[in-house]
């Protein structure tokens, strides 16, 4: 009887339980690209001991959330929805309005949307701490700088042109 190779799973018995704390500066970062990197670190995909069904990621503290960038006309065209729970309680706001009232919500919703749905993601998203300015209460955790990938030259030119 032949065994189906595609159904075999590898269980990592030597799972690295140590969690690091990273601090990520969101100033002048494009929201989607930045959120992708955060979601990968929260899930633990940057570790060799990554296991999809376990929470093996690290903590991420995001500072300067109010200085995040959106490309194109997303400041006015991107709509965020929330519901009060009552009949007719659907509220909608543009990204510009959300940034002025709740700057943390832009980064939170972007990262949450990049995590798979389910119980595991609800526990993973709790390791994300977002602050609109550079002040945060996590100095005692020995924060390391967030490992952002190198920016492309075209993106650097756009940043220099806008500053």
What is the pLDDT at residue 14? 58
In a domain, 5, yes or no: no
Encoded tokens for 3: 């065994």
Measured between its terminal Cα atoms, the distance across the chain in Å is 66
What is the pLDDT at residue 99? 93
In a domain, 50, yes or no: yes
In a domain, 133, yes or no: yes
pLDDT greater than 60 at residue 51? yes
What's the CA gap between 95 and 123, in Å, rounded?
A: 26
Per-chain mean pLDDT for the chain: 86
pLDDT greater than 80 at residue 9? no
pLDDT greater than 60 at residue 130? yes
In a domain, 75, yes or no: no
What is the pLDDT at residue 22? 94
Range scoring the smallest mean pLDDT among 40-44, 62-66, 141-145: 141-145
What percent of the chain lies above the pLDDT cut of 70? Answer: 82
Q: Which band of pLDDT confidence, cut at 50, 70 and 90, is reported for residue 6?
A: low
How many domains does the chain fold into?
1
pLDDT greater than 80 at residue 10? no
Domain residues for 143?
A: 18-70+103-148
Tell me which residue has tokens 């899930």. 43
Q: What is the CATH number of the domain that holds 141?
A: 3.90.1180.10
pTM of the model: 0.81
In a domain, 110, yes or no: yes
CA 42 to chain centre: 7
In a domain, 46, yes or no: yes
In a domain, 109, yes or no: yes
pLDDT greater than 60 at residue 29? yes
Query: What confidence tens digit (pLDDT) does each residue in 83-118 have?
Result: 999 999 999 999 999 999 999 999 999 999 999 999
In a domain, 154, yes or no: no
What is the pLDDT at residue 148? 73
């Amino acid at each position: 009887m032949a065994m189906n190779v595609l159904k075999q799973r590898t269980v990592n018995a030597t799972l690295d339980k140590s969690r690091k704390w990273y601090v990520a500066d969101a100033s002048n970062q494009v929201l989607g690209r930045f959120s992708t990197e955060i979601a990968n670190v929260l899930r633990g995909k940057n570790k060799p001991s990554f296991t999809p069904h376990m929470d093996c990621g690290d903590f991420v503290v995001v500072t300067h959330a109010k200085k995040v960038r959106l490309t194109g006309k997303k400041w006015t065209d991107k709509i965020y929805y929330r519901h009060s729970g009552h009949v007719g309680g659907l509220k909608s706001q543009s990204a510009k309005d959300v940034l002025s009232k709740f700057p943390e919500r832009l980064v939170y919703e972007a990262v949450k949307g990049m995590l798979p749905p389910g119980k595991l993601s609800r526990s993973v998203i709790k390791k994300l701490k977002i602050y609109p300015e550079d002040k945060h209460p996590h100095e005692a955790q020995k924060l390391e700088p967030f490992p952002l990938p190198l920016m492309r030259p075209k993106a650097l030119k756009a940043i220099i042109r806008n500053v």
